[in-house]
Amino acid sequence: MKITDLKCTVLGQNPVVRITTDEGISGYGEVEAYKPYLKPHILFYKPMILGEDPTDVERVLIKIRRLGSFKPWGSAVSAIEMALWDIAGKAAGVPVYKLLGGKVRDRVRVYNGAVRFPMQGSSPEDYAENMAKMKASPEGFSIIKQGIAFHSRMPAEVPNFSYGDPRVGDHHANRGLLTERGLKHVVACVEAMKDVVGDEIGLALDCGPGWMVPDAIRLAQALEPLNLMWLEDLLTGDYTPYVLADIYREVTRSTSTPIHTGEQIYLRQNFRELIETKAVNVIGPDPADIGGIAELKWVAEYADLHGILMAPHGTGDGLIGLAALVQVAATLPQNYIAFEYPIGQPAWWYDIIEGLPDPIVKDSFINIWDSPGLGVTFNEDAARQYLSEEDRDFFDD
């Protein structure tokens, strides 16, 4: 079998990859949302993979892997890798999890990071009200993650929040030392959310990046009585092109509150110091950014050897990304907690993808399906109406 084409289109908010072969089998991969600008970067890899056997996934990846980088630039390699596994599974007539070593579990736990309701403000009451809505969501999530501090509107909406000047724009640009009022406000908001979920639901916090080390330690220690799932991306994280494992270790060793990071990190080599020095308690690589699903599995196994837990990121990965997460999470060792459940946006994504269970999530779990490849495919007739004019041939061989 040989690769005959690499195509990319943007459906809604997500770039979608399609790899075609000379045996009529196609594979799909998906890039995390909000990255339409990556389409040319994805197609950059086309001449490097044409003519290769797509079922020799690692051989193809060796040709392109070194050309990616931290989020968002590893997304292209990651989506191509997903599509290759999709083809390999379809060619063998087995789900991808069989090719990754087989199932460890028959269902995978997910946590809520994407089923969202508009926040009315940044007060403790606003956070409590919003958490109550997520708690009542029909998916029955057993873990809910909420954004606070630098991963929220607090820097702009809470007066005298920090000693820095609040910045506006994307990619969480704020960073600085919190005032005493700011730190107390964050703690009050967390306490309000915890009052809502009690001990029924685990509460995780998406915190930054942007915290200074003294504040990170103060926060983690102040929240110890609440038994949180984790504090995520305090120091680095989303769209930060470095790790700073030694600084994370300083925070982690100062507290019993679990510390988490990893969604932006590309490749196993960039997780090595974080894992080997036990700089965090939990890592959260994203299959759409780390370099693909096999790369994520390798890192999970290595983390398990060092006593580090695994909670993969996935909030913007879409429905093909969801399928990839289910396949790899089925195979992960027992350090696996849950992955961040992605949704389809816009809602018409649920009309163009076939193969997902209905309902997808029940009591915070997804049952693992046994269809070949990633197990999902497009209803091409339904999907064609959402193709741009330049991509009208996306589903054509």
Co-location of 304 and 202 in the same domain: yes
Q: How many domains does the chain have?
A: 2
The pLDDT assigned to 168 comes to 66
Co-location of 125 and 238 in the same domain: yes
Q: Is residue 396 part of a domain?
A: no
Co-location of 355 and 387 in the same domain: no
Give buried/exposed letters for 302-315 (b at 16+ CB in 10 A, else e): bbbeeebbbbbbbb
CATH code at position 69: 3.30.390.10
- State the sign of the Cα–Cα–Cα–Cα dihedral 344, 73, 280, 61: positive
The pLDDT assigned to 174 comes to 81
The pLDDT assigned to 167 comes to 72
Co-location of 67 and 176 in the same domain: no
The pLDDT assigned to 151 comes to 94
Mean pLDDT per 10-residue interval, the chain, length 397 residues? 98 96 98 94 98 98 98 97 98 98 98 96 98 98 97 93 78 85 98 98 96 98 98 95 97 98 98 98 98 98 98 97 98 98 97 98 98 98 97 95
Q: Which domain holds residue 64?
A: 3-93+378-391
CA distance 35 to 13: 7
Please state the φ and ψ torsions of residue 56, each to the nearest 5 degrees: -90, 70
pLDDT digits (tens, 9 = 90+) for 326-354: 999 999 999 999 999 999 999 999 999 99
95 - beta bridge partners?
Answer: 373
Instruction: Give the distance, in angstroms, between the CA of residue 259 and the centroid of all CA atoms in the same chain.
Output: 17
Q: Is residue 397 part of a domain?
A: no
